[in-house]
Structure 1
């Protein structure tokens, strides 16, 4: 028996027999190309476009300095104008609010007084949230200015209505000074950047743009290490993952900081966090491929790219994404890695314990699958290999009426398990 080149038929005792599986396989491949792939592509586009199209503040932690009437009016106005947008936290003075910003407790704070509003923000935490707070501060100032102007106008009208005819000559002077009164009623806004972003990357574009390449590079490292024939032993694969991620992270850091100046602080710690981020992604990809075979590569890519990267909030903030998506993104390596890298670079590691735990958990699970995954998949592979190892009958071909006795010539050294040892 031998197959022809096109694999649609084979020769059996000199007769050409049509392969009955070829038609079903062709229809199955057509169904995959016409139905399954468009569905996957549609879901992938929605995973990226939906969060980006629904960016809006949702329970963004923001501080309010003081408990005076002006601060209370500001909170009430923001609560009515943007319900559910902010999670307000009170601080006694600006120093306490600045400390909370540096500790990553809040994204910023509003210090409201009678004729001024000070916006304390941290561009390094999120340029988009910092711009949002600046805009909100200006809106509060404009609203307060209008209210003060209305109060002054009402006071002048009351004064004009009760004045005696002997004081009528003062009306002209009062109207002439109205413009000065209106200008004095204007509430001024001052924005203070408590933790600014790098001067070479004022909008944080370089920082946010590095998340997607990190995810792709991590998957590539994991796939290569798992499929490399020269890395037969699990400990060799783990060692290669560690070295490759450390060296790749060093190269990324040299580009991001040495060439573009986007990671200006805590150099060694930043490089270590980049290495851990890469390792968590690559170890997960390698472990899934080790357990599921080539299909694991597609699964890990879909999880890390279309879910983890799309829901990471690296370009805005997790609190700017739709509800539920922010939590999912921070439990996956791309989102946790971006937040950890931001905390390490600009905030001296403040509030990084949770993100660090997420990356360590994914790394440990991935490396465990790489080390001991062959124990899980050994039994099915041995069973399948032993079924036709020596002289068992192949199933009868359709229309042949008898089974073919074909002895497999299996060599022990050729069927070496790549995960053993």
Structure 2
């Protein structure tokens, strides 16, 4: 029964967050405090409660700075005749597309409202003109106008001009775009799962290899293996696919730290729990860490609680830190860096000193009398004999 339950939970861990993707407190900026901006905020709050966390900025320059600093995912600059969407595809392609769609909805709604107001004004003017038509002078002018050249094409042109004048345009500006060779960010998001698997494999190999008996050798092997593997990942992701175009050395270092946090944790848990630690590490990193990482969308698109769990595990923190380093010059990366460092230090500590926890105490013996102790008295004698045991007996007890 355990295996079907484990498979069910694994499928649930991956399918549930993916099936419940929706904006939840996504940080979005609003430029200006004019009536159009206020109406937009009120409308979005009413139609999508809890979806956005709005922050006000005085101008587009301030909003752009906030996007590059990772304070918000994007911003809306709304006027009477246009909606400008400032987005960052590098932060999350799915959120950037969401903001573009929301901007189009705001423009369509504003167009409908302006069209309705214009039609109401035209209808009111027509009614006033009809009420004044009973005047003889106005009636004479109306008759002369009807007998003259009607010019039928003028009215449609005027109507078309009126319709075009109330059209609210949408303009999308990608403040921080993804790499040109990876326009949808697929390569970036697809690299998270292999990193997790490779980290687990490195930790299992280092712990179970017979040639690495000493803890310091295992730690050194972990460090070297993660650095070399990270270099290989970077050469493929950037050199071959062009998905990590900026901050080359820092990006390689983050890849190495991500691998180290996973591999060191795996090695440390195996050192403490034995072979069962491999299954526990795989379940934690793959079925929880990867599923809750938000690498394919964004943490704010996942169900409540899941986003926090994912960002406290190496796969989620590593993906976020890699975004911050590659595209945003390391802005807002302190928390993710602390998470990866904490997991790495704890794992390496377990590898170095885990044998002190699991080995038997030195004082525990088989119960045989120690060298130099008095042997029990022989039957019929009233005194005990002091006999020192031979050296081969001491060696035999020590092996036990």
CA distance in 1, matches of 2:108, 2:126: 27
RMSD: 2.2
Unaligned runs of 5+ in 1: 1-34, 390-409, 416-421
Task: Report Cα offsets for 1:275-299 as digits up to 9, x if no partner.
Answer: 0000000000000000000000000
Question: Which residue, 173, 182, 191 being the options, matches 2:172?
Answer: 191
Partner of residue 345, structure 1: 326
Question: Which residue, 86, 92, 101 being the options, matches 1:120?
Answer: 86
Q: Report the CA distance shift for 1:411/1:362 in structure 2 as closer, same or farther (over 3 A).
A: farther
Q: CA deviation at 1:206?
A: 0.2
Partner of residue 20, structure 1: none
Q: Within 5 A, what are the aligned runs for 1:7-406? A: 35-163=1-129, 164-165=132-133, 166=138, 177-379=158-360
TM-score w.r.t. length of structure 1:
0.82
Q: Report the CA distance shift for 1:242/1:253 in structure 2 as closer, same or farther (over 3 A).
A: same
CA distance in 2, matches of 1:293, 1:116: 63
Q: CA deviation at 1:261?
A: 0.2
Task: Report Cα offsets for 1:142-188 as digits up to 9, x if no partner.
Answer: 00000000000000000000013227559986676223211110100
Task: Report Cα offsets for 1:245-290 as digits up to 9, x if no partner.
Answer: 0000000000000000000000000000000000000000000000
Unaligned runs of 5+ in 2: 369-394
Q: CA deviation at 1:318?
A: 0.2
CA distance in 2, matches of 1:98, 1:364: 37
CA distance in 2, matches of 1:87, 1:102: 17
Partner of residue 9, structure 1: none
* Larger Rg computed on CA atoms: 2
CA distance in 1, matches of 2:156, 2:170: 28
CA distance in 1, matches of 2:396, 2:116: 94
CA distance in 1, matches of 2:163, 2:9: 55
Q: Report the CA distance shift for 1:161/1:290 in structure 2 as closer, same or farther (over 3 A).
A: same
The question of whether the paired residues in 1 share the 8 Å contact of 2:366 and 2:397 is answered with no
**DSSP 3-state at the match of 1:62:** strand
CA distance in 1, matches of 2:113, 2:51: 23
Q: Report the CA distance shift for 1:229/1:316 in structure 2 as closer, same or farther (over 3 A).
A: same
**DSSP 3-state at the match of 2:360:** helix
Q: Report the CA distance shift for 1:413/1:355 in structure 2 as closer, same or farther (over 3 A).
A: farther
Task: Report Cα offsets for 1:352-405 as digits up to 9, x if no partner.
Answer: 00000000000000000000000100127996xx6699xxxxxxxxxxxxxxxx
Instruction: Give the number of aligned pairs.
Output: 360
Q: Report the CA distance shift for 1:93/1:225 in structure 2 as closer, same or farther (over 3 A).
A: same
**DSSP 3-state at the match of 1:379:** coil
Task: Report Cα offsets for 1:36-67 as digits up to 9, x if no partner.
Answer: 00000000000000000000000000000000
